Amino acid sequence: MNKNWFLFLLLFSCAAFAGKSTSFEKGWARGYVQSIDSARTMTVLTAYSEFSLGEILVLQSRDPSQDIIGFVQIESIETQGDGQYILKARLVRHSKFAMVQLGDVLYKMEFNTFHREYHGTTELLMRNEDPESSSSYKSLIFMGLGAGETAQTLRENEFLVDIFGYLDYGVTANLTLGTLLPADLFSAPNLHAKYRVYQSDSSVTSLGLNYFQSPDTSSGIINMSLYWDSVSSESVIAHTNLSLALATFDKAKNLTALKGAGTSSLQSGYEFIMDNWNRVLVGPSYNFENKSIGGYLSYVWIWDTFHLLAGVSTADISNVIYNVEKGYYVNIDMYWRF
């Protein structure tokens, strides 16, 4: 059987399978697995020209008893003389309950709104660069005022605004600037900046600088921060934040509930990504000035732009009282990313 007959039979069998109710029935560009080249790479045949290098595609089994079995990333695109296109793709994530088969269907992933069939995974978060993406599929930038920020930066021209007036703006994909607006209005001008210096498929490193002018003194507060995020597993990201006070004042020790507000601290923790893309945040922190061990535990509900965070934080785990400065306190936040 020559190659043309093989391709005809392959496309015919996959067209018959397409009667199953799937996401690609909306007319989205799609392709079919033509060959499995290695443990992580495959060749895909398509008649659509909408695909682009680096794009994430959904991998759907041709087996009617299976649904989405993985995600792949396009590594190369080759144009055939008959109007067909050959895509070389690499597995990003694959279900342990199914195997890739010839004729499995790949189609464009829709990042701009939440889809229940897309299960939470670190691989998609780290590789998703779609500017119109739903926040569900974006790496977490902000963990609330009590836990601070991660190493990630906003995308160019993107905003983050919370109900307490915390405002961030993505000047470029690598540089984020922000301020706490209520403090600006009450004689405490402030500015924070974060620059991403390194990024790979599994880690991100950024440098941050915070300036805060306290109304209690004529001198300003300056903090420098080192942020490091690293993928621990397919559903866990580790966050580390070292913040050093380069300039401060005596009463800054009362501001430990705000990260980078005049005290030095070391914070680590984990972000657990749920199947529905909500997050659980947990981790310890150490404040050098107060010589105290604190921590945080939060749950984050995420929609396309809106985030709701609820949890508990503490400045000192040994001091079992309700006190923002020295004990435990409820951490509630709502913010939008757009």
Q: Please write the tens of the pLDDT for every residue from 120-173.
A: 999 888 888 887 899 999 999 999 988 899 999 999 999 999 999 999 999 999
The residues that bridge with 308 in the sheet, in sequence order, are 301, 334
Residue 252 banded pLDDT, cuts 50, 70, 90: very low
* Nearest one of 69, 112, 116, 74 to 93, comparing CA atoms: 69
Query: What percent of the chain lies above the pLDDT cut of 70?
Result: 86
Residue 15 banded pLDDT, cuts 50, 70, 90: very low
Average pLDDT, the chain: 87
Contact partners, residue 251, CB within 8 Å, separation at least 6: 214, 216
Buried b or exposed e, range 268-300, using 16+ CB within 10 angstroms? ebebbbeeebbbebebebebeebebebbbebeb
- pLDDT at position 132, please? 86
What's the sign of the alpha-carbon dihedral 15, 17, 18, 23? negative
**Mean pLDDT, residues 43-70:** 91
**Mean pLDDT, residues 9-24:** 38
Residue 244 predicted with pLDDT over 80: yes
* Nearest one of 182, 178, 155, 156 to 167, comparing CA atoms: 178
Residue 321 banded pLDDT, cuts 50, 70, 90: very high
Residue 194 predicted with pLDDT over 80: yes
Secondary element (H or E) of residue 183: helix 181-185
Residue 29 predicted with pLDDT over 50: yes
Secondary element (H or E) of residue 122: helix 122-127
- pLDDT at position 67, please? 79
Structure pTM?
0.81
- How wide is the angle at C-alpha 137 spanned by C-alphas 134 and 143, nearest 5°? 95
Query: What percent of the chain lies above the pLDDT cut of 90?
Result: 65
- pLDDT at position 16, please? 36
